[in-house]
Structure 1
Amino acid sequence: MDLEEMQRSVENPRSRVLVAEAVKCYQNGLYRASLVSLWVAVVSDLTYKIKYLSDTGDRNAKKILDRLIKGLDEDNVPSVQSYERELLSKAEKELEIILKHEKEQLDRLSKDRNRCAHPAYDSNLDLFVPDAEQVRAHLAAAYRIVFSQRPIAGKALIEQLHEQLRGFHWAHSKESFLDIFFTPARGTVKSNIVKSLINMSVSSDEGGDVVERSSEAVYWIAEESRSDFEDALKSVLGARSFGFEKLIKAFGLYGSFPEFWSALGNGNKIQLEQYFVKMESVKLSKSLLEIKPIIYGVPCLEEFSNALRKMFENAEAADFAELVELTDEYSLAGPSVIKRLQKASSFVEARAQWKILVRYGKSMDAESINSLREAIEYNDEKHRSQVSSAFNCMSSLESLYCDISSSDEVANEWKKLVIYLNEQGEHNLEQSVFAELLKPIEDSE
């Protein structure tokens, strides 16, 4: 561990001064003084973290801090000593800002500090003097556990969550996730869990599975508690470290929630407007293909959803297949797929659009199916039935049909489409999953 780099990396500037004192003592061979100074730095830094948690609404932290301040105001030495003596236990069990094994390491530092601050003899009446290796080990542990960490409550639970998110299997349903990680947690821990999940969902350092799992968990929490979701968004979006690329990814994942826009802040909203609304469509599509945000749902604000629809409509043919991979929302990209089907002048082009259309099956309504039939009819007339010929022996059409809900309106439009295709004679639909749909349509009042 580089001691100079360690000092520069200490999170709290007030702690940085205290750590520098401990390091200076160590570098000058004053090992007992170094451990005494290091313990002072640890206690001070943990106290700063407790104050931060108290200021941000953690009731347990406020209770601990109020007791310390009362003892200081009343010059109650036993009370202040009790605070220092109980600090590590409260940090682990009540505040959850350190883990059990980390407390054990800091307990060893506390014990060695006491042996350095007071005459501590062995059986030969020799004073305890730590060696350089012991002191350096304590410095490294204190930095890793305390000085390099931000004040986050619920550390053990969050680490368990991260481990499962990055694991081989993610076996949680909404109910099991909430029961294990969210519902039992107290307020501050809940907030930290949501913030952690949002940050993971927009991180370029995480793999696709982690992004998908963490964003899914955020959706579950949003359904359970919109206030926790919105508060976490405000905190994450307002952080200085939240860069523009993360903002674009957050827009894609959470822009369909009104809470995203209320949490956004004017500066971030202006950036999004400049990017999505005011940027030329083709340029926007190429930029999004570099960032690759996942777009869930339709953005709440109409100017943004319209900008995305326009982008899909105007995207270059070479980019379109990759661009539609960004969203499963039919209303954003689906109409552009149908338009391209309608204009397809070759079998290869039509087949490519069929394959794309299948991904939007679950989102297609009766109006969408009607548009699809009209597009096929137009193509049959203008381009010699490229679309009718291209659905690959019905496999694409069957996949699309199996994905679509079976409301009466949707079923009726499917009947019209299947009857039309059957009449063209390209395929024998009477021997397919569509046989039931070929029965005559009954007029309804």
Structure 2
Amino acid sequence: MLDLEEILGRVWNPDVRPLAAEAYRSYTTGSARACIILTWGAVAADLIDKLQRLGEDGEGTAKDIAQKIDAARAKSDVKAMQDVEAALLENAQMLELLDFVEARDLQRLREDRHLCAHPSLRPLGDFYAPSLELARAHLVGALQAVLIHPPSQGRNVVDRFTGHVADAAFTGNEEYLTHTFFDQVKPTVRRRIVDVAAKVACLEPDGLPDPPGASKVADRMADCLRLFAARDRTLVATHLKKAVSRLGDKPRAVQIRSVGRLGYLDVFWSAVTPPLRGQLGGLVASIQSRPDMGLSDIQSRLLSLVGLDQPRKLLPELETKFAELDLFDRALVINKRPGKYFTGRLPPLLEKEAAHNFRMAELLTRLAVLPCAPHLDEHTLATLLETWTANDQCLYASEMPQNALTLYRTTQHLRLVDESIWKDFITRARSLVPGHEGSSAYHYNEVAEAIGM
């Protein structure tokens, strides 16, 4: 059962909160009639204040209503205020402060309020006697439909969301996005926001702002979907399913980008049908590296899904294609999504076939080895460092001593078992580099000092 006291604390308007609290106290003391009357009073006060705020923000219809409210209050005109209240729910629905279902439920509350407040509407001795269960239902409905939400129209919230995602100042802050566009909006608006995010992330529809460009906006929408899925996986899955059903008709480039940005979400794969999965498998199999340039960014992002269990199982072509790549392209793929799956593939990157000169050794280390460092185990680390010292292009490259120190610092999780591995590495390096012990830059003195050697 809902904790009403907790929900009451979320009433957004501090001036309305005492009315809602008084309605709750009436309910707890067994006065259903008073609870219903006070609940409608809180709703009316809340909606009137929201209409005034929207009027101040320049919303045309709300501005006209706000002027009527101000005029009625200035003259203490009860009849004019009754007219405002009589049209309150209709105006709130028109301005998207309420949806149809919420307006219908609050209309029932208003009718029950009239029966409670005006006994003369029923024959003498046949007064309306609402139950406590009905009073509680009205209070809960009012809280969830109106009282806990700020004065934002559904259309405006969605527009603010899409505008924020396209803005140059977009940061993807988890707390801001989930609080502003998910937790603090009504379910109907939340569904619209998730639907927009799913369509843009999956399909890159026409008309997206440039800059930042369709692909960038879609990437940001995918980040939002990840955050929203952590709040309501079913909601995101429902709207992604609708968007994914249209993915098969999109151009090949859009399909590659879409799977690359969404394929790490399990809710994406739950929406992929067997025919579409076959189509995507063929897409993966057809990927070709660019001569002298390697894989493109979107190609490597797509193939990086091989590091995740679910995509690898559903699209076996990922593993097949990854195995066919040359070592440099593998490094590009690993860089997109470093993880445990790739750690066993790191030592060959430092062999002379791949790291065939100083600059390539440094590049491959930065691209793949260092990003995967948090996922290494002691056996893979030992093999990696043995390969490092066995290739003079790694051993003598100017950046590699600093890279080794970075690798040591980013393998903190191995601190209890890796001391001998690093000491062996230093000993081998110094035995292979001319000069007195510790006198050469390639004696890896920084790492030796870090491990106390």
TM bucket (normalised to shorter chain) is 0.5 to 0.7
Residue 417 of structure 1: which of 422, 427, 430 is its match? 422
Match of 1:177 in 2: 177
Taking the TM superposition and a 5 Å limit, the aligned residue runs for 1:243-392 are: 243=250, 244-276=252-284, 279=285, 282=288, 289=296, 291-292=298-299, 294=301, 295=304, 298-303=308-313, 307-316=317-326, 327-331=336-340, 335-343=344-352, 344-358=355-369, 360-361=371-372, 363-366=374-377, 367-377=379-389, 380=390, 383=391, 385-390=392-397, 392=399
Over 3 Å counting, the alpha-carbon distance change for 1:359 and 1:186 in structure 2 is farther
Cα distance in 2 for partners of 1:194, 1:284 equals: 36
CA offsets 1:14-54 (integer angstroms, 9 cap, x no match): xxxxxxxxxxxxxxxxxxxxxxxxxxxxxxxxxxxxxxxxx
Distance 1:322 1:94, change over 3 A: same
Which residue is 2:98 aligned to? 94
Could you tell me whether the CA contact under 8 Å between 2:172 and 2:224 is conserved in 1?
no
- What is the rounded CA distance, in whole Å, between the counterparts of 1:262 and 1:183 in structure 2? 24
Given that 2:358 and 2:393 are in contact with CA atoms closer than 8 Å, whether structure 1 keeps it comes out as yes
Instruction: Please state how far the C-alpha of 1:234 moved relative to its aligned partner.
Output: 0.6
Q: Which residue of 1 aligns with 2:20?
A: none
Distance 1:416 1:234 in 2: 49
Task: Please give the root-mean-square deviation of Cα atoms over the aligned residues, in Å.
Answer: 4.0
- Structure 1 runs (4+) deviating above 6 angstroms are 283-288
Give the aligned residue type for 1:250. Answer: S
Contact 1:334 1:360 in 2 (8 A): no
| 8 A Cα contact 1:257 1:300, kept in partner | no
- Distance (Å, rounded) in 1 between the aligned partners of 2:267 and 2:325: 30
The 5 Å alignment of 1:137-216 reads 154-171=154-171, 173-202=173-202, 203=204, 206=213, 210-216=217-223
**Secondary structure of the residue that 2:271 maps to in structure 1?**
helix
User: Contact between 1:350 and 1:387, CA under 8 Å: does it hold in 2?
Assistant: yes
In structure 1, distance between residues paired with 2:444 and 2:198: 50
Kept in 2, the 8 Å contact 1:338–1:372? The answer is yes
Q: What fraction of aligned residue pairs are identical, expressed as a percent?
A: 15
Pairs within 5 Å for 1:35-184: 90=94, 92-95=96-99, 154-171=154-171, 173-184=173-184
Q: Report the Cα offset of residue 300 of structure 1.
A: 0.6
Q: Is the 2:240–2:271 contact (alpha carbons within 8 Å) kept by the matching residues of 1?
A: yes
- Contact 1:350 1:386 survives alignment (8 Å): yes
Alpha-carbon distance in structure 2 between the residues aligned to 1:398 and 1:196: 45
* Distance verdict in 2 for CA 1:391–1:259, change over 3 Å: farther
By how many angstroms is 1:428 displaced?
6.2
Using the alignment, how far apart are the partners of 1:331 and 1:282 within structure 2? 25
Map 1:234-249; keep pairs closer than 5 Å. 234-239=241-246, 243=250, 244-249=252-257
Q: Letter of the 2:382 partner, please give it.
A: N
Distance (Å, rounded) in 2 between the aligned partners of 1:340 and 1:393: 14
- Does the 8 Å contact 2:331/2:368 carry over to 1? no
Farther off after superposition, 226-235 or 302-311? 302-311
Aligned pair partner of 2:412 in 403, 406, 411: 406
Contact 2:260 2:298 in 1 (8 A): no
Using a 3 Å threshold, how does the CA distance of structure 1 residues 373 and 359 change in structure 2: closer, same or farther?
closer
Q: Is the 8 A contact 1:275 1:284 kept in 2?
A: no
Q: 1:188 and 1:401, CA in 2 relative to 1: closer, same or farther beyond 3 A?
A: farther
> How far apart are residue 211 of structure 1 and its match?
4.1
Provide the rounded CA distance (Å) in 1 between the counterparts of 2:247 and 2:172.
Answer: 32
TM-score (norm 2): 0.53
For residues 372-394 of structure 1, what are the alpha-carbon distances to aligned partners after superposition, in whole Å with 9 as ceiling and x for unaligned? 124225xx1xx5x2222226152
Q: Distance in 2 between matches of 1:310 and 1:336?
A: 14
Q: Is the 8 A contact 1:248 1:293 kept in 2?
A: no
CA shift digits 1:132-151 (9 cap, x unpaired) = xxxxxxxxxxxxxxxxxxxx
Cα-to-partner distance string for 1:119-176 (whole Å, 9 max, x where unaligned)? xxxxxxxxxxxxxxxxxxxxxxxxxxxxxxxxxx933212101111122222453222
The answer to whether the 8 Å contact 2:394/2:400 transfers is: no
Q: 1:201 to 1:87 in 2, by over 3 A?
A: same
Q: Which moved more, 1:344-353 or 1:214-223?
A: 344-353
- Give 2:446's aligned residue: 432
Deviation at residue 263 of structure 1 after TM alignment: 1.3
The answer as to whether partners of 1:95 and 1:154 remain within 8 angstroms in 2 is: no
Cα distance in 1, alignment partners of residues 164 and 262 from structure 2: 23
